[in-house]
Structure 1
C-alpha cells in the first residue's frame, strides 16, 4: 500500500534530510550491520534488490561500504525515487530504479535484498505475506534478506505507551515536535504494524530459512533470513 504522504515533494525532501536517524535508534549502525550480513553470503559483484528504496539513503549506505555491488531500487513514490537518484549521485552508475511495488521488480535472481522501514506500510491481509514471498522468489537459493520493521502490536494493552516511547525518542533526538506528533498519528492511522513474532511467522511462511534477529531498538526489530 502506498503511503500517500510520501507523494508530497516537501514531505519527501524533509524525510530524506532529517528523518530516519531521529526516529530509528542506531539507524546508521543498523545499515552497516545489514551490509555486513548480506556480504557474508553475497559475491563481490553482487546484485542487490532494495525494496522501499525511495530517498536512496540505504542504497547509498550499502554502496559506500561495498564498491562493487549493483543495486535495483523499488518504490511506489515518484517523488521519493527522484530524491533517491539525487542522493545516490556518487554511485548512480551502479543503480537502477523501478517505480512500483515488489511485483513490478525484475525477476532477478538477486544475490541479496533489503526491506528496511517498509513492511509496516503493507496491510497484514495477505499483503505482507505476498510481499515477502515475492522477495524470496527474486533471490538466488541461500541469498540473504535483511528485514527491519517497526513492530507495534495494535491490540496490546501497552500500545499507546509504546507509541509514546517512540515519540519521546524522536523528540530527544532533535526531531521537530510537529513532525513527531504527525508521525505518532500515522502510526495508528496509516501504518500496519504487527508484533515481532508475526513477522517471524510471515518470513517462515514465505519460505525463508535461518531467520535470525540481529537488531532491536525500542520497538524496531531487524532480521536476516535466507531464501
Structure 2
C-alpha cells in the first residue's frame, strides 16, 4: 500500500476511529499496560517518540502513568493528528506534546529520545528492506540503551493455524460491532496490502534495524508485540 493510500484510508476513518474500536478496548488496555511496564525503566523526565500515534491512546495512558514524560507525536494522517491533538488538549497534556504530521525522515534531526512506540505501523511497509529501514530510522533517534515497544499484525499466512486464527479474529471484529464493510475491507487488506509476517521474521527485521533481539511480550489474536533496546554500536 502506497503512503498516499494509507493517509487517505486513515483520514477517512479518523472521525469515527475511537468509537468504531471502542468494543475492543480490553485488548488496547492490555497492550497499554504492557507498554507502560516495558518502558517504566525510562527516566522520570523521559522524552518518548510515538510513531504513527493515531488518535493517541497510548500517549494518554503513558502521560497519566508518568507525569514527567514528554511526547513527540508523529502521524502522517492529518485527520488522525487533529483527533489526537483534540484528545490531548481535552486531557490537559497538550503542553507535554510536540506534534509532527509526517514520516520519520521528515522529523527534524538532532533530538534523541529515551524510548519509542510503534503500534500497528511497520506492517504497512511491504518491502522487507524498507521495513528494516523504518526501524533503523527509529534507532538513529534513540539515546544509547533507548527502548522500543513495537506491535504489528503477525502470523504465518501459509498455515492452517493462520486460517483458523483469522476466522476467529474476523468473528471477534463482527461481535465488537465493527461495520461489515470495514471488516470486509480489512480482510482484503490482509491479503495484499499488509505485511503480515511470521513473528520470528518480524523480530529479525527489528533486530536488523539496529536493536538487540526483541523479546515477545504480547499476543492478542493477530496482534503481536515486542520490546527491546538499542543495540550497542560496533567497536
TM-score (normalised: structure 1) = 0.90
> Is residue 164 from structure 1 mapped to residue 180 from structure 2 by the alignment?
no
Is the contact made by 2:126 and 2:193 (CA closer than 8 Å) also made in structure 1? no
Question: Could you report, residue by residue, the CA deviation over 1:115-153 in whole angstroms, capped at 9, with x for unpaired residues?
Answer: 011111111331110000010111111111000111033
Is the contact made by 1:32 and 1:62 (CA closer than 8 Å) also made in structure 2? no
Aligned to 1:211: 214
> Is residue 192 from structure 1 mapped to residue 195 from structure 2 by the alignment?
yes
What are the equivalent positions in structure 2 for 1:149-160 lying under 5 Å apart?
A: 149-156=152-159, 158-160=161-163
Aligned to 1:202: 205
CA distance in 1, matches of 2:207, 2:56: 28
Aligned to 2:44: 44
Is the contact made by 1:25 and 1:218 (CA closer than 8 Å) also made in structure 2? no
Aligned to 1:70: 70
**Match for 1:109 among 109, 112, 118?**
112
Question: Could you report, residue by residue, the CA deviation over 1:150-186 in whole angstroms, capped at 9, with x for unpaired residues?
Answer: 1033444554433322211212233333322222222
CA distance in 1, matches of 2:55, 2:130: 23
DSSP-derived class of the 2:219 partner: strand
> Is residue 58 from structure 1 mapped to residue 58 from structure 2 by the alignment?
yes
Aligned to 1:134: 137
Distance change in 2, residues 1:21/1:99 (3 Å): farther
Question: Could you report, residue by residue, the CA deviation over 1:56-109 in whole angstroms, capped at 9, with x for unpaired residues?
Answer: 222112112111110001111111111110111121111111111111223321
CA distance in 2, matches of 1:123, 1:182: 18
- CA RMSD in angstroms, aligned pairs only: 1.9
> Is residue 7 from structure 1 mapped to residue 2 from structure 2 by the alignment?
no
Distance change in 2, residues 1:21/1:214 (3 Å): farther
Aligned to 1:99: 101
CA distance in 1, matches of 2:39, 2:204: 21
Q: How many residues align?
A: 223
**Match for 1:176 among 161, 174, 179?**
179
TM-score (normalised: structure 2) = 0.87
CA distance in 2, matches of 1:45, 1:104: 25
